[in-house]
Each structure stands twice: as C-alpha cells, then as structure tokens.
A = this chain, B = another copy of it.
Amino acid sequence: MRTAAINRRAFIGAGAASSVWLAAGNSTAATTDAVPKNYRRIAVEECFNIPEIAEVQLAMGVSRHAIQMSNATRKQLFEGLLEVEAGRLRDMDAAGVAMAVLSINAPGVQNLPDAAQATALARVANDRLAELVRKYPTRYGGLLSVAPQDPAAAAREIERGITQLGLNGVIINSHTNGEYLDDRKFAPIFEALVALGVPLYLHPREPSDRLAAAQDIPGFNVGWGYAAETGTHVARLITSGLFDRYPTLQLVLGHGGEGLPYFLSRLDNRFEFEMKLVGRQTLQRKPSEYLRQNIHCTTSGMNYWPQVRMMIEVLGIERVLFAADYPMEDMLPAVSAMDAAPLSAADRARFYHGNAERLFKLRS
C-alpha cells in the first residue's frame, strides 16, 4: 500500500459511497424548501485530539482491537484530528455548519492502564478544549473528557469542567478496561452529572473483551462492532435501573442511537414478556419510556433519511440532534442529506440547533 497516496480528504471521500442511500432514502420525500447556506447548524459529535494524547495513543497502538492500519496511515488520520482551527473552520464554512461541539477522539484516555496518567491527560485535554471554545465562542462548544479509571477523580473533573471551564457536557467512550458504567463503582460520575444537570455523551469504541465475538470483524469494526459495543452498554445501563436511580439523567447516543430506536417496540414487548417469565419487575417504567425521557440520539454517520425518520418517529423530534462525526465523516453530504429531509421549518430548527442549544446549554 502506498501510504503517500492517502490523505484525510481521501478518507473522507468514502462518505460519497453512500450517496445512493441518500437518494434512495429521500425517494418518497416531499420536496422541501431550500435551506440557506448560513443556517444555524450545530454538529454535536465532532472529534479532535491534542498532541499529548495522540502521542500516547500512537505509542500504544491506540487499542489492541482498533482497526489495524499502518502507523503512517494512523498518523495521517491523526492530522485531521489535531487540526482544530483554520482547516476545520473552513470545512465547517464549506458545509454550512455554524457550530461544532467538540470532543476528544475515542477511546480518549480510557485505554491507559495508569489511572493517574489518564486523569492528568484528561485535564490537559479539557483545558485545551476550553481555550478553544473561549477563542471561538460562536463556532465551538465542548464535551469534557474524563478518566473513569478513577471515578472520584472523574467526578471532580466533571465539576471543574462545567463550573470552571464552562464546557457543555461530558463524553465517555463506552467501556473502560472492559468495565461498563452499570458497575456501581461509577456512581460518583452519575452523581456529578445529575447534580450539574449536564448530559453524558456515550460514544462508541472498539468492543471490550467481554464482546470478543464483535472484535476484529474486518470492515465492520466500526459499522457493526461499535454499535454492538455501545448498544449493549446502553442495554446494561437501562436494565441496571440507572434511570430509576437518576430520573433526570440525560444520555446522548450517536450513530442513530446505536440501533436502539430500531428495537424500541421489541424491547418493550420482550421486556414485559421476560418479566412475566421470571416473575418479578426490575424497573419502574417501560424501556421505551427511558428512551423517550432519558436519551437523545444523534445522526452522526447516519444521516440517511430512513434511519433519521425512524428515530424521529419513535423518539420524537425533540430528542434527535444533528451530528456529522467529522473528520471521520465528511460534513457536506451529511448536511445535504438533512437539508433535503422532509422536515417542517420548526422541526428542522429543532433538529439542527434548538435541541442542541437546550441540551448542551449553548448560546443561541
């Protein structure tokens, strides 16, 4: 492979392969009004990195089960993540994206074996992110990173990031060393989220060793593996009674809600059936009620009308937010697809910015 022939633009070009989907998805759509280029579009799952974390990740090979690309390729990919000013803003302008809510690329600091190092690096990342948001207050918002390896320290960092740095929420990239957040030891993190009234973006990463069969599926590592990992994580959180313990907690899921909207009716149906079989009731509400009261979903990497329509239909428009997943996906086809979606002006405003402004307390 000639790595020299690869650049971020070429990677991003992969998104164009899905243009057939956009067309197919919109085939039944009513003609929509033209949406102005300078419309306020907020993309809420946009990743970046800082040199300190990129360096550690490159040295470690990122994660044992991350996609096995050459280090040269990974370095080129990282270039796009490290570019947080002129180049990124230019791409945002070209696509008509007014604002990006940034977060450190998965798995963040969550694969570092040393909790103290992870905690320190998350702190550096958050300082850097806050600096960026201060410099471009109309263009960037930010989700702070934590090291769940040390739940108490993570809770303190959440408080610092929200109250002192003015960031807009928290991101956690699914499992941390194979542990999921339904483990009660992570309670301090949820206590902090609820006390501060900020949402947790549960972002995917490569499946844990407890989902070994979903690891290393060549070509489907992200498309299927990430969703199996993160969807299973959410299934564990819901059934653990997390939202009964924290009724105001808000979770944000990317990538079309990692499959949950597709299964929502079945989850209700089988939940009731299984509770009858085992003869007890483990949750206060129906699964769909948690999804409609505690979960928001974004369109990162899933800006295809059939999927977006389903999300809106089963969750309600006020829980569906726009995201592009830049630089892993190109912003332009995402915006083109969603501009062409048959949404009313009021719903389009909710989808593109109103929901994000409310959820992440962004200035409108």
Contact = CB atoms under 8 A, between A and B. Distances in A.
A279 B223 contact: no
Nearest to A76: B277
Q: Is the interface of A mostly helix, strand, loop or mixed?
A: helix
Interface string A270-287: 111111111110110011
B236 A277 contact: no
A274 B222 contact: yes
A114 interface: no
B21 A273 contact: no
A70 to B, nearest CB: 7
A-B CB proximity, top 5 nearest: A1-B279, A223-B270, A210-B213, A262-B262, A21-B265
B17 A328 contact: no
Copies of this protein chain in the complex: 2
A14 B210 contact: no
Given A262-B262, A262-B310, A267 B67 contact: no
Contacts of A224: 231-232, 235, 263, 267
Category for how many chain A residues contact B: 35 or more
B269 A219 contact: no
Contact of A17 (B24, B175, B272): B272
Nearest to A255: B266
Contact of A1 (B218, B264, B280, B313): B280
B276 A6 contact: yes
B228 A231 contact: yes
B70 A273 contact: no
A180 B217 CA distance: 13
A263 B214 CA distance: 15
